[in-house]
Amino acid sequence: MKTAALRHRLARLRWYVRELTGEAAYDHYVAHARTHDPHAPVMTRRAFERSRTDAREGDPRQGFRCC
């Protein structure tokens, strides 16, 4: 397998894993925020993750979470 083909496959695998695990959610948020209002402040990654966690834990459809 040639180097370029291997890099392409690894890049696609990395993209898939990031999408599957939710790691790319912040990147999607930043792109969306910049597209819709370029001058609005964007949350930091830490604030974004805290907001996601709070929303997930506050939603009763997500099930009970004890810890």
| pLDDT tens string 21-55 | 888 999 999 999 999 999 999 999 999 999 988 88
What pLDDT does residue 57 have?
81
Average pLDDT of the residues in 6-31: 94
How far is it, in rounded angstroms, from Cα 33 to Cα 40? 8
What pLDDT does residue 67 have?
57
CB 8 within 8 A of CB 16: no
